Structure 1
Amino acid sequence: MNTKIYFRKLLSLVGLSLLLFACSDQSEEVQPSATIAQNAVTVTEITFTATALINECYGEDIRFTGIIENKVKKTNSASGQTHYIRQFTVKGMTAVGLETGTEFDVVGGAEMFSIKNPVYNADGSLNLSGSILGESDVVIHRGTLVFVSQEDGSHVIARHIITKNPGQGVKSNIWDCGGN
């Protein structure tokens, strides 16, 4: 593939994902309830719990839990490389500030993972930690969550970015946030 076209597609994917996809605490990977069929998209609604690690920019981390719609696709290229793509959108989530106890509604959010040559568990589910820290060549993750305080209606927007490139390891694994 032409390098210019490849980078244009990659930049488009990253840009879209920043606008559309949400994030989770990477230590708490949720697996789909069914084995992923080759070239098929598996869609499941699952309970998901994780922590937005935004203490440095918001003043406390926020733990969120609830239902997500999880979409997973696994493919193999003609050259034998495996590609894993996961997206989720929030369907009904709440959250709590881990220091103040402030309760939030999660009113928006989505996430995207794209992994080249992922690491799988014995049951065929994704081993996310193994993929990020192990042998996977490329990991791209972009996520955003929107929290609204049940107390005063203020908004907190949490973004998570993970990038790993071939031969360079994990280049970024950061959280940032904003609000009103």
Structure 2
Amino acid sequence: MDVRSRSRIDTDIVVTGGGAAGVAVAVTAARAGLRVTLVERYGFCGGGAVAGLSGTVCGLYEATDSRAAQPRQVVFGFADEFVRALDARGGLTGPLPYGKTWTRVHDPIIWRETADGLLRDAGVEVIYHATVTGVLCEGEERIEGVMLWTKQGPLDVRAAVTIDA
């Protein structure tokens, strides 16, 4: 049992998980002027793309039965920005055929560095090496944040919005 006193952080949004979805929502919300805290259990962001070594960025291109077709990108927004940032760092191949669609192969280390840079530039507070141990609730209906265990001790992160990514 950890007998250290609990610390507390207040923020607008707490995001648990620094994979692709967590990075996207954290950066987007911070750019909208909200105070965002992202909590990640490892010492880096990336989820399956980095720790799982998935190696590919999928879902950006239209599916087709024609093998003669060229890739036609249909997903843009933050995903497109992230892909462009990966590409600019030399961490991404061009589109490669994959079933009925196309994929792009990425370097996991450059994925992590790209995510770190976007989070930093947006002003997101990132807490690494943190495990969610519970949810802070007001009654049975309202989530008010999360309880964490960190290397520095137990920590409560209180937020108007809690996102499990």
TM-score scaled to structure 1, two decimals?
0.26
TM-score scaled to structure 2, two decimals?
0.28
Q: Which of these two proteins has the greater Rg computed from alpha carbons?
A: 2
Which structure is higher in RCO with an 8 Å CA cutoff and minimum separation 6?
A: 2
